[in-house]
Amino acid sequence: MSDLGSEEIEEEAENDLGEYEGERNEAGERHGHGKARLPNGDTYEGDYANGKRSGQGTYRFKNGARYIGEYLDNKKHGHGTFIYPDGSKYEGDWVEDQRHGNGVYYYVNGDTYTGEWFNHYRHGQGTYFYALTGSKYVGSWANGQQEGAAELIHLNHRYQGKFVNKNPFGPGKYIFDIGCEQHGEYIREEKPEEEEEEEILVPVLPKWKAHRITSLTLWTPEEPPPPEVPPTTSVEIPTIEEPVVEGSTEAPSESVEATEPSEATSPPKESEEEEEASKDDQGDQASLMTEEKEDEAREPEPQD
């Protein structure tokens, strides 16, 4: 919707002073705070400086429009709010009666524009909200039109690309909430020439030409790599289920480090020899005792 639909009404010049009630300077000019009723029926109440509206004031037009804000030399200059006859409203910066700087325009149909202005037009970066559909345009503007890189956001998808004369044109992509992207471009189709003498100029809207569909590019934090573990040699631990046979010629494994022998793993040879010797001594003693008992039994009994 055009923000110029509510044409501004020119304010009455102060040449025809009309009725005035308020402060004056030594030269008799309106200076300070005062009220004025102009010949065209408009009224102003606010600050004056040397006969001109300067400072904070309220200007009411006879058609119902009004401006509440700052003035400089009879012109809207600074920050102010203009309420138009149709009910639309602008709040923002002014420079010499022009919307210039940053401001918000509230349209009658519920649309809003928030962003930069230049010489009364939407110009620069801004966001336009469409009340009917809930969509919004976020991007560049030039002389009141959508122009340049922008994003058109809808309820369940959005389009990112370039706009030319308020229409998308060139490469772009649609991003859907279901988790995919459709890449393509907007192109202008050439209409066949007509043989009729009179041609009616009809604006040709760009047509979307899809190229490919991809998944969304999601950012995920990178996990740190696992710490490097230095290689280690495997060590085989000998089992103790079976005793080690004396005189075994089996070579030890290369991976087993040399350790001190223990009683549980490898009994020494000396202890085995001593054990066998003690067994032999016990056997000899038992045989001697047996022979002595047999001799005693064979001895004759003494005679009377």
Pairing between β-strand 75-83 and β-strand 157-164 as defined by DSSP bridges: unpaired
Amino acid identity for residue 241 in this structure:
E
Residue 127: what pLDDT? 98
At residue 266, the pLDDT reads: 44
Q: How far apart are CA 141 and CA 127, in angstroms?
A: 9
Closest CA to 17 of 101, 85, 74: 74
> What is the mean pLDDT of the segment spanning 3-30?
75
The string of pLDDT tens digits covering residues 33-81 is 999 999 999 999 999 999 999 999 999 999 999 999 999 999 999 999 9
Q: Judge whether 118 and 103 are in contact, CB under 8 Å.
A: no
Contact between residue 140 and residue 147 where contact means Cβ atoms under 8 Å apart:
yes
Give me 267's structure tokens.
Answer: 């009994």
- In tens, the pLDDT along 257-297 reads 434 434 434 444 444 555 555 555 555 555 556 555 555 55
Considering the entire predicted model, what is its pTM? 0.65
Q: Token match 């122009």: residue?
A: 147
Give the pLDDT band of residue 90 (cuts 50, 70, 90). very high
Rama region for 17: left / alpha / beta (φ>0; ψ in -120 to 50; rest) = alpha
Tokens of 153: 């956001």
- Written in H, E and C, the secondary structure of the chain is CCCCCCCCCCCCCCCCCCEEEEEECCCCCEEEEEEEECCCCCEEEEEEECCEEEEEEEEECCCCCEEEEEEECCEEEEEEEEECCCCCEEEEEEECCEEEEEEEEECCCCCEEEEEEECCEEEEEEEEECCCCCCEEEEEEECCEEEEEEEEECCCEEEEEEEECCEEEEEEEEEECCCEEEEEEEECCCCCCCCCCCCCCCCCCCEEEEEEEEECCCCCCCCCCCCCCCCCCCCCCCCCCCCCCCCCCCCCCCCCCCCCCCCCCCCCHHHHHHHHHHHHHHHHHHHHHHHHHHHHHHCCCCCC
* Full set of structural domains in the chain with CATH: 7-108 (2.20.110.10), 109-188+206-215 (2.20.110)
CA angle 275, 280, 285 (to 5 degrees): 125
pLDDT for the residue 204? 76
Category of 101 on φ-ψ map: left (φ > 0), alpha (ψ -120 to 50) or beta: left
Residue 215 is predicted with a pLDDT of 82
As a whole-number percent, the residues of the chain with pLDDT over 70 amount to 61
Give residue-wise pLDDT tens across range 157-202: 999 999 998 899 999 999 998 889 999 999 987 665 555 555 555 6
Select the highest-mean-pLDDT range: 133-142, 227-236, 247-256: 133-142
Q: How far is residue 63's CA from residue 42's CA, in Å, rounded to a whole number?
A: 9
What's residue 281's pLDDT?
A: 57
The CA-to-CA distance between both ends of the chain, in Å, stands at 161
CA-to-CA dists, residue 129 to 1, 117, 137, 191, angstroms? 11, 16, 7, 33
